Amino acid sequence: MSVSTQTSQAFPLVPSDHFPPPPVPEVPAPAPLPEMAVIEFGKPDRYDLAVPVLVPSGASRLSPFNAEGEPRAQHVSTKSSTSLLLDPKTSRVLVAESTIESKAVLALMADRTIAHIQDQPSGIRFIDIDGVERLHTFDFRAERIDGDAFAIFAKNKERAEREDMRARVHLLADQLPSGFASEIVVLTEEDFPAWLAANNTLLVSVRFDPRTHVDDMVREAALLLEEPIAIGDLASRHGGGGVAFRPIVRLLDDGILELVEPARIDGRCMVRRTAKGAA
């Protein structure tokens, strides 16, 4: 097969200079650049980048830097913090509006004699010292397993000990509606030392763990105890602290074991079998 190199008569070759050059499109002039910030050495900025001047915001937020460029002190309130806590007994979410309230809720949850906890119960009407009818809402209302109920006033000690607050509590106690509560319990930060608050948190948390064969083993061992033993020593017999510590804490929560003396629950704590465990 041959390839012809002859030019077709229908498409004769035309010199390249026969066609005029194509028109050059017009390019619009570039938009003016925004005003550039003057970069001064010694300022906290990237010196190799020029940035447009920003229009100041009308927001009222306080700058983290003062007029001299020094960082301001950051003030964080420790008087109020809202927490949501899941009650393992009822699977209800309880709202605590302060650190003291959170600790109070955990203490109530950790107490096996408490059957029900109600946050922000319905307000009760009472007559104040001036003879004016007012409405008061307690922080919590708790009901024991025997049916007895009590109202809880959880406040910092300074506020709870004010004369007007003490008078208010006494007035409320004298005017509690029948069936609402038999007493008022005032709780402050002094009722929750660090070791006790930590214990309550731990006792509540272990209830959410799935129970395993280790729970059965430590329970059997605890029922045979004749003398106090350190939690760490008991755990070492059943796989160590990483395996048996929380199951042993569950025995404390179940009332099978008890602390020999008040202390933060850890491997050094001495525990003993309770009367319930001996039964």
C-alpha–C-alpha distance, residues 259 and 40, integer Å: 66
Q: Is residue 119 part of a domain?
A: yes
Pair (186, 102) in one structural domain: yes
Q: Is residue 160 part of a domain?
A: yes
- Say if 20 falls within a structural domain: no
Residue 261 domain-assigned? yes
Regions of the chain short of the pLDDT cut 70:
1-25, 27-80, 277-279
Whether the Cβ atoms of residue 220 and residue 213 lie closer than 8 Å to each other = no
Position 126 in a domain: yes
- Please say which residue of 191, 221, 242 terminates a domain: 191
Q: Are residues 129 and 217 in the same domain?
A: no
- Alpha-carbon distance of 49 to 253, in angstroms, equals 62
Q: Are residues 176 and 239 in the same domain?
A: no
Model confidence over 163-214: pLDDT tens digits?
888 999 999 999 999 899 999 999 999 999 999 999 999 999 999 999 999 9
Residue ranges making up the domain that contains 223: 210-278
Does the model's pTM come out above 0.85? no
**Where a domain ends, among 157, 191, 225?**
191
- For residue 81, the model assigns a pLDDT of 72
In a domain, 12, yes or no: no
On whether both 176 and 246 belong to a single domain, the answer is: no
Q: Is residue 5 part of a domain?
A: no
* Among 191, 219, 246, residue at a domain's last position: 191
In a domain, 54, yes or no: no
> What would the pLDDT profile of 132-171 be if each residue is shown by its tens digit?
999 999 999 999 999 999 999 999 999 988 988 899 999 9
CATH of residue 178: 3.40.1350.10
Which CATH number do you get for residue 270?
A: 1.10.10.10
Same domain? For 269 and 218 the reply is: yes
- Tally of structural domains, the chain: 2
Examine the domain organization and report whether 175 and 242 are in the same domain. Answer: no
